[in-house]
Structure 1
């Protein structure tokens, strides 16, 4: 079983994204026999299935080069859902003019 280095995957992902304007919101690598690599991406105009598929193909090629063709892993490239929190400052600009529900550290909620 190959050990998947998160930093190495981040480098491969940066190469896969190129100058697409997309950025990584989250990257998780499960610690299991068949690791699952989950990449959540976003962009200035969001992203669709075509962009997810293109990044998946590019990242798979990079993973093969880095870890060999026999590397065993599951890869999921996705966009953040509407119910996911905004975690990157770049996500906020796309939502200007929309109502947001804010959950503060003290547990209170504000809508605006």
Structure 2
């Protein structure tokens, strides 16, 4: 994490003390000058929360002259294709279908049923040829996950 990213993280955390339902997911300063702040919330991060954080961070960065090159500040919630990163994001998505990639290269898909400090549990549909699919609970430690994405169903 760069010094700019550290300072921006501190500023966002300061502002979020006023918005306890919202939490910081990520801060990235790209070489092209884009400063991206991703926020989420237990019930989503609305445009009002994003605007408040943007105004606060933008004002403080200018006041402190933290970034001496032109930059573009973008504050938003993670997109649907953004992998889950924090335990709090996993908890908020219990009951939804997720696709996980494991460190051994394998993939699993199922309904996220539980989350604790060191693992997630999904209800995976196991298909056996000639038989009805069965549901099996599978616990996966966080250290075996490389990526978890929420799947959207339009059924």
Indicate the TM-score class for this superposition, using the shorter chain for normalisation: 0.7 to 0.9
Q: Which residue pairs with 1:28 in the alignment?
A: 28
Say whether 1:74 aligns with 2:72: yes
Bigger CA radius of gyration: 2
More strand, by proportion: 2
Alpha-carbon shift at residue 76 of structure 1 (Å)? 0.4
For the Cα contact (< 8 Å) 1:64–1:71, is it kept in 2?
Answer: no
Counterpart of 2:123? Answer: none
The residue that corresponds to 1:61 in the other structure is 59
Deviation at 1:71, TM superposition (A): 6.4
Q: CA RMSD in A?
A: 2.1
Q: Which has the higher contact order (CA 8 A, sep 6+)?
A: 1
Q: Deviations along 1:31-70, whole A, 9 cap, x unmatched?
A: 34xx2110111111111222211211111111122117x8
Counterpart residue number, 1:101? 99
Aligned match for 1:37, one of 35, 38, 46:
35
TM-score relative to the length of structure 2 = 0.62
Gap regions ≥5 residues in structure 1: none
Deviation at 1:19, TM superposition (A): 2.9
SS at match of 1:5: helix
Instruction: Establish whether residue 110 from structure 1 lines up as the match of residue 108 from structure 2.
Output: yes
**Residues 71 and 14 (structure 1 numbering): CA distance in 2 closer, same or farther, change over 3 Å?**
farther
Name whichever structure is richer in helix by fraction.
1
Q: 1:49 & 1:8 partners in 2: Cα distance?
A: 23
SS of 2:97 mapped into structure 1: coil
Aligned residues: 107
Task: Provide the TM-score with structure 1 as the length reference.
Answer: 0.83
